[in-house]
A and B are shown apart, each in its own frame.
Chain A
Amino acid sequence: MPLDELRTTLNQAAELDEPPVGGGPAAVFARADRTRSRQRIATAVSGIVVLGVVIGVAATAVDRSGGAPTAAPAPVVSAGPPSAPTLTSAAPSPRTRPSDVPADAMLNTLLRLLPAGVTVSEPDSQPGFAEVILSDRAGRGKVQVNVQPGFNRVIPSGHGGDDPMDTFTCARRRDPAGTHCTRSVLPDGTIVVLTEGPSEDAGHDRIQRRMADVYRPDGVRVVLGTWNAVHEKTNTATRAEPPLTVQQLQAIATDPTWPV
Chain B
Amino acid sequence: MKKEIESELHDYVESRYAHLRRTAFLLCGEWHRAEDLVQTALAKVVVAARRGRVESLDAYSRQVLLRVYLDDNQRGSRRRERTWADPAGAAEPPVVAGDRATALTVLAALRTLPARQRATVVLRYWEDRSVEDTAAVLGVSEGTVKSQSAKGLAGMRQMLAGSLAELMFSDGGVV
Contacts and interface: CB of A to CB of B under 8 A. Distances in A.
A233 to B, nearest CB: 8
A32 B44 CA distance: 7
B62 interface: no
A16 B35 contact: no
Interface of A: 1-3, 5-7, 9-19, 21, 24-25, 27-29, 31-32, 34-36, 39, 89, 92, 94, 157-160, 162, 176-177, 200, 203
A9 B102 CA distance: 7
Interface of B: 9-10, 13-14, 17-18, 21-23, 25-26, 31-32, 35-36, 38-40, 42-44, 46-47, 50, 75-79, 82, 99-100, 102-104, 106-107, 110, 122, 125-126, 128, 153, 157, 164, 167-168, 170, 172-174
Given A5-B167, A28-B39, A177-B82, A10 B104 contact: no
Nearest to A200: B79
B103 A18 contact: no
A117 to B, nearest CB: 35
B2 to A, nearest CB: 14
B26 A13 contact: yes
A13 B174 contact: no
B43 A32 contact: yes
A159 B33 CA distance: 11
A92 to B, nearest CB: 8
A89 B35 CA distance: 12
B76 A13 contact: no
Given A1-B157, A89-B36, 15 more contacts: A1-B164, A2-B172, A3-B125, A9-B106, A13-B107, A14-B22, A16-B104, A24-B35, A24-B39, A25-B10, A28-B43, A31-B43, A35-B43, A177-B82, A203-B76
Given A10-B26, A18-B25, A94 B39 contact: yes
B169 to A, nearest CB: 8
A5 B32 CA distance: 27
Contacts of B42: 28, 31-32
Nearest to B25: A14
Contacts of A34: 43
Contact of B126 (A11, A32, A158, A162): A11
Nearest to A233: B75
With a 10 A CB-CB cut-off, give which of A1, A159, A177 has the most chain B CB atoms.
Answer: A1
A21 B104 contact: no
Contacts of B14: 25
The 8 closest A-B pairs by CB, nearest first: A2-B172, A31-B43, A32-B46, A12-B103, A14-B22, A13-B103, A10-B126, A28-B42
Contacts of A29: 9-10, 13, 43, 46
A173 to B, nearest CB: 13
A60 to B, nearest CB: 37
With a 10 A CB-CB cut-off, give which of A16, A21, A35, A160 has the most chain B CB atoms.
Answer: A16
B4 to A, nearest CB: 16
